[in-house]
Amino acid sequence: MDTSNAKVLAVVSCLMDYPREDILLYKGELDQVVAEAGLAPAIETKLLAFIENRAAMDLMDWQSEYGGLFDRGRSVALWLFEHVHGESRDRGQAMVDLVDMYREAGLELDKHELPDYIPLFLEFLSTQGKENAQNWLQEMEHILGLIQCRLEKRKSDYSVLFEALLDFADSKIELDEIREQIADEKRDDTKKAIDKEWEEEEVKFGAESLDKSCESSTRRPSEAQRRDQDIPVNWVGFDATPSSSQSSISDKRG
């Protein structure tokens, strides 16, 4: 597979982030990047269809669907370490390590940005060159595959975004094994499940509550922050087995 065009990661980042009207203003450019990305034909077709369908939707309807999908429960969380560390103390250190990686690449986050937010992470990868981007995505393929399969189970076309990432990475992950693992998994986005979660505890990171609502990641790395092929891949825990509370996969998002 030709993966020379890492710009497709920025496109997926844009589509995975909270829906905004300005996204649709660049539909033609998004289509072009996808068409030139060298994805498998079937996945390219599905990704272009996703863009077409979203462009035809009323923005408020799109935002409502997005909120219902990603703002309830944790099983399809868009925070990487939610699936690796859950609520353990290891999550905090993993966050710090990832921030250090961003800084090494010349990328500074503002205080409202969580470093493991997948759309933000994809923005970063889109500036790091093909080989580094592939290595990172392969290292986190179990997370991407898990989210993809859970979205498929919910019959959400957002699953194609994760399918495209795995294809770009030339991942060999066995998705059928994941589908079998989650076949009897209880959904965590029902009212009963959400009420139970609120009763159990408030998730905290450091001294502050984690605000799990989707915040738009509107910043893009500048040219000065680009380090194509220059940054050595320095793993920060993605190779860890997903936490048992998140992946084996009980009901529980970030």
Domain positions in the chain are: 7-247
* Confidence tier at 86 by pLDDT (50, 70, 90): low
| CA atoms within a 13 Å half-sphere pointing along the CA-CB vector of 214 | 26
pLDDT at 172 over 80: yes
Mean pLDDT of 115-123: 91
Highest mean pLDDT of the ranges 9-23, 85-99, 116-130, 155-169:
155-169
pLDDT, position 65: 94
Which one has a higher pLDDT value, 31 or 217? 31
> What is the rounded average pLDDT of the residues 190-195?
51
d(CA 77, CA 247): 12
Residue 214 has a pLDDT of: 36
pLDDT tens digits, residue range 25-46?
899 999 999 999 999 999 999 9
Looking at residue 232, its pLDDT comes to: 39
Q: How far apart are CA 210 and CA 232, in angstroms?
A: 30
**Which of 18-32, 140-154, 191-205 shows the lowest mean pLDDT across its residues?**
191-205
Higher pLDDT, 204 or 93: 93
| In the predicted structure, residue 76 carries a pLDDT above the cut 60 | yes
Structure confidence at residue 233 (pLDDT): 39
d(CA 81, CA 114): 10
pLDDT score recorded for residue 95: 78
- pLDDT of 202 > 80? The answer is no
Residue 231 has pLDDT above 60, yes or no: no
So what's the pLDDT on residue 211? 40
In single-letter form, the type of residue at position 97 comes to D
Asked if the bond preceding 118 is cis, omega within 30° of 0, the reply is no
Q: Rounded to an integer, what distance in angstroms lies between the CA atom of residue 233 and that of residue 238?
A: 12
Strands 204-205, 208-209: parallel, antiparallel or unpaired by DSSP?
A: antiparallel
Phi, then psi, of 215 in degrees rounded to 5: -105, 135
Q: What pLDDT sits at residue 62?
A: 96
pLDDT at 193 over 80: no
Phi, psi of 79 (to 5 degrees): -115, 115
**In this structure, are residues 35 and 137 in contact, taking their beta carbons and an 8 Å threshold?**
no
Percentage of the chain modeled with pLDDT above 70: 69
Distance between alpha carbon 21 and the CA centroid of its chain, in Å?
20
* Residue 83 in this model has a pLDDT that exceeds 70: yes
